[in-house]
Amino acid sequence: MSRAVTSVLERNVEPPGVDIRGAWTEAFHNVRAETERRAAPLSAEDQLVQSMADTSPTKWHRAHTTWFFEQFLLKPHAPSYREFDERFGYLFNSYYVAAGPRHARPERGLVTRPDAAEVTAYRAHVDRAVVQLLERADAAALAKITPVIEIGLNHEQQHQELLLTDILHAFAQNPTSPAYDSGWRPPRCERGNDAVDLPAGIHSIGFGGEGFCFDNEQPAHQVLLREGMIGRHLVTNGEWLKFMADGGYASHDLWLSDGWAKVEAEHWNAPNYWREIDGAWFTLTLAGLKPVDPAAPVCHVSYYEADAFARWAGKDLPTEAEWEVAARAGLLADAFGVVWQWTRSAYLPYPGFRAAAGALGEYNGKFMINQMVLRGSSLATPAGHARASYRNFFHPPARWQFSGLRLVDYR
């Protein structure tokens, strides 16, 4: 989202020379088009599949992000709006209890109707209504609707990332290892294994600037960092291969009890999507099955694996505060755009956090239990979506995201 749009929103006034409706309309079109661009390589069959309860079909992502605008923007703010199909609220509400009953999450892949083409028509219907709402809004109406459009666009960007992580998981179930995009290439990364001093002392973390943030990034508050060294670089596949060769997946004493239970139950012996073929390791990427590059950052590891690796290395995962302070100081290479980085911070409310009233208050706050924070962003995160204060969160066994790690050393 452009700074012009966000600064206009902050002030809720239209500065001279700024076309506020045009800026929001352009931002809306750009984000909506990116979702369709990501879905374009996928057939209707691809778009239906749901390979586990944690993932969703592409078609569902396309429809759910559209329902979000219908439910939270058009129904409250566009009195003449007619729903595309009144059954879609039940099908495409994800977890908003205040928005009414909803279809069971693990059964999203069983919904063959509406088909992908009908979802395309649903998106076009809602797009027209949103643009019309923007065109006709006076200044007072704009002040009410633009915050909803802004969270709707940030929400859709989150689903753009999930669209890719979820289809990769689906393709991983296919013995032919399909490619989402045979021309896809991994992001370039800085090489090395340097560590840099953490700035010890009192620092502020959390979002305190202008523009958009999610509620879980606030309130900004002070934290105390102890002395230590944080990895400038991400942990690589080559380092992970040493962990594996040293019996990392066979040594119970390296693992948390819950993690070891996963190793045993699911026979983990390498990161997710790794396959050993004739003595060589390959991994499923968006471009299909590729040899594991020892110099590339390790990807598709769970919190349990990251934690065990840190213990094996005689180091620790950073806290989210250490990560944020180091990122703001420019100490981290590849902080963004490669892999989300596990921290050893539980996903908890910041001191003084209160979820907003109403259905959108369900966005983040009610998930602040039993999950761990990841920082940065990944190769699948849309450009401009993440920031230093951004808090991603997943359950400790999750390994289908583009998730890796860097280490901290307190000795």
Q: Which two tokens stand for residue 46?
A: 């691809």
Q: Between 91 and 196, whose beta carbon lies closer to Fe ion? A: 91
Q: Cβ 166 to Fe ion, closest distance in Å? A: 12
Angle, in degrees to the nearest 10, between helices 20-39 and 58-69: 160
**Both structure tokens of 131:** 């643009």
Give the interface segment with Fe ion, choosing from 6-14, 29-37, 94-102, 385-393 (CB under 5 A): 94-102
Q: What is the CB-side half-sphere exposure of residue 236 using CA atoms within 13 A?
A: 18
Instruction: Please identify, among the stretches 88-96, 278-286, 327-335, 401-409, the one whose residues bind Fe ion according to the rule CB under 5 A.
Output: 88-96
- Please, what is the minimum distance in Å from the beta carbon of residue 121 to Fe ion? 21
x/- map, 335-374, Fe ion, by CB under 5 A: ----------------------------------------
In the complex, the smallest distance separating the C-beta of residue 60 from Fe ion, rounded to whole angstroms, is 10
Residue among 281, 292, 300 nearest 397 (CA): 300
What is the distance between the alpha carbons of residues 363 and 94, in angstroms, rounded to a whole number?
Answer: 10
Give the nearest distance from C-beta 235 to Fe ion in angstroms: 30
Q: Which stretch in 35-43, 93-101, 208-216, 396-404 sits in contact with Fe ion by CB under 5 A?
A: 93-101
Q: Is 94 or 302 the residue whose CB approaches Fe ion more closely?
A: 94
Q: Are 400 and 54 in contact (CB under 8 A)?
A: yes
Of 149 and 244, the one with the shorter C-beta distance to Fe ion is: 149
* Tokens of residue 366, six digits: 């009610």
For position 157 contacting Fe ion by CB under 5 A, the verdict is: no
* Number of chain positions touching Fe ion (CB under 5 A): 1
Are 126 and 83 in contact by the 8 Å Cβ rule? The answer is: no
Rounded least distance, CB 280 to Fe ion, Å: 39
- Minimum distance from CB of 158 to Fe ion (Å)? 7
Residues 268-307 that bind Fe ion (CB under 5 A): none
Q: Which is nearer to Fe ion, 304 or 363 (CB)?
A: 363
* Nearest distance from C-beta of residue 97 to Fe ion, angstroms: 14
What minimum distance in Å lies between the beta carbon of 214 and Fe ion? 12
Stretch that binds Fe ion, among 91-99, 164-172, 234-242, 273-281 (CB under 5 A): 91-99
Residue 66 makes contact with Fe ion by CB under 5 A: no
**Euclidean distance between CA atoms 84 and 78, whole angstroms:** 14
Nearest approach in angstroms of CB 104 to Fe ion is 16
Q: Which helix (H) or strand (E) holds 243?
A: helix 237-245
CB of 39 to Fe ion, least distance (A): 16
Instruction: Considering the complex, state which of residue 284 and residue 398 has its C-beta at the smaller distance from Fe ion.
Output: 398
Residue nearest to Fe ion according to CB distances in the complex: 94
Tracing tokens 């859709």 back to the chain, one arrives at 156
The three-state secondary structure class of 366 is helix
Q: Which is nearer to Fe ion, 181 or 362 (CB)?
A: 362
Taking the least distance from each CB to Fe ion, the nearer of 105 and 242 is 105
By the 8 A CB rule, do 129 and 74 touch?
Answer: yes
Nearer to Fe ion, 68 or 402 (CB): 68
Give per-residue burial for 94-123: e unless 16+ CB within 10 Å, then b.
bebeebeeebeeeebbebeebebeebbebb
Contact call for residue 94 and Fe ion (CB under 5 A): yes
Angstrom distances, CA of residue 267 to CA of 242, 304, 310: 19, 14, 20
Both tokens of 94, joined, read: 């994800």
Q: CA-CA distance, 193 to 234, in Å (whole number)?
A: 8
User: Would you say 119 or 408 has its CB closer to Fe ion?
Assistant: 119
For residue 375, CA distances in Å to 31, 121, 217, 220, 342 come to: 22, 36, 12, 16, 7
| Structure tokens, 148 | 């909803």
Task: Write the CB contacts of 318 (distance below 8 Å, at least 6 apart in sequence).
Answer: 230, 326, 341, 343, 344, 406, 407, 408
The span of 92-100, 204-212, 225-233, 287-295 binding Fe ion (CB under 5 A) equals 92-100
Q: Interface with Fe ion by CB under 5 A: which range of 86-94, 220-228, 248-256, 386-394?
A: 86-94
Closest to Fe ion by CB, 72 or 243:
72
Nearer to Fe ion, 97 or 200 (CB): 97
What's the closest the beta carbon of residue 267 comes to Fe ion, in angstroms?
Answer: 32
Which chain residues interact with Fe ion by CB under 5 A? 94
